[in-house]
């Protein structure tokens, strides 16, 4: 899974695909199914590791599927998770605190 942030700046993501050249990619929002396709981005491949650098329109807390294409052939499919937490602080349940509102006495009675 690729971890990215919600920003209007350029972001880079790296992957190892089944081919060295590619000409477009699609990002699909996993929850809504909305798809965006990009053909104008910076790409590089060094020692089999490909990189895409682009401004991605993604929202904090959402999961996406990325599909990298060479023509009609899919060379890579992967997951993107968008979070504004730093990686050191990242927790899937950040800011979620649950309490036990059960007011039942938890004392045990042994007969």
List the beta strands (DSSP E) in 6-88: 11-15, 24-29, 35-38, 42-46, 49-54, 63-70, 73-82
In this prediction, residue 111 carries a pLDDT of 74
Specify if 51 maps to a domain.
Answer: yes
Q: Would you state the pLDDT for residue 104?
A: 62
Going by DSSP bridges, is the β-strand pair 2-4/11-15 parallel, antiparallel, or unpaired?
unpaired
pLDDT of residue 60: 92
Determine the structural domain holding residue 74 and report its residue range.
2-85
Q: Is residue 105 assigned to a domain?
A: no
For residue 44, the domain's CATH number is 2.60.40.10
**38 part of a folded domain:** yes
Q: Does 43 fall in a domain? A: yes
Tell whether pTM > 0.85.
no
Residue 80, pLDDT score? 93
Please report whether residue 59 resides in a domain: yes
Domain count, the chain: 1
Q: Which residues contact 102 (CB under 8 A, 6 or more apart)?
A: none
93 in a domain, yes or no? no
- Whether 101 is covered by a domain: the verdict is no
Give the pLDDT means over successive 10-residue stretches in the chain (111 positions): 90 86 91 87 88 91 93 92 77 63 66 74
CA dist 11 and 32 (Å) reads 23
């Amino acid at each position: 899974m690729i971890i990215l942030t919600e920003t209007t700046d350029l972001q880079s993501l790296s992957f190892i695909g089944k081919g060295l050249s590619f000409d477009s990619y699609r990002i699909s929002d996993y929850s809504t199914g909305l798809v965006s396709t990009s053909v104008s981005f910076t790409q590089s491949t060094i020692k089999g590791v490909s990189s895409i650098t682009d401004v991605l329109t993604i929202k904090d807390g959402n999961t996406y599927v990325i599909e990298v294409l060479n023509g009609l052939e899919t060379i890579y499919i992967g997951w993107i998770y968008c979070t504004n937490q730093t990686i050191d602080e990242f927790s899937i349940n950040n800011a979620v605190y649950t309490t036990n509102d059960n007011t039942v006495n938890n004392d045990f009675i042994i007969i």
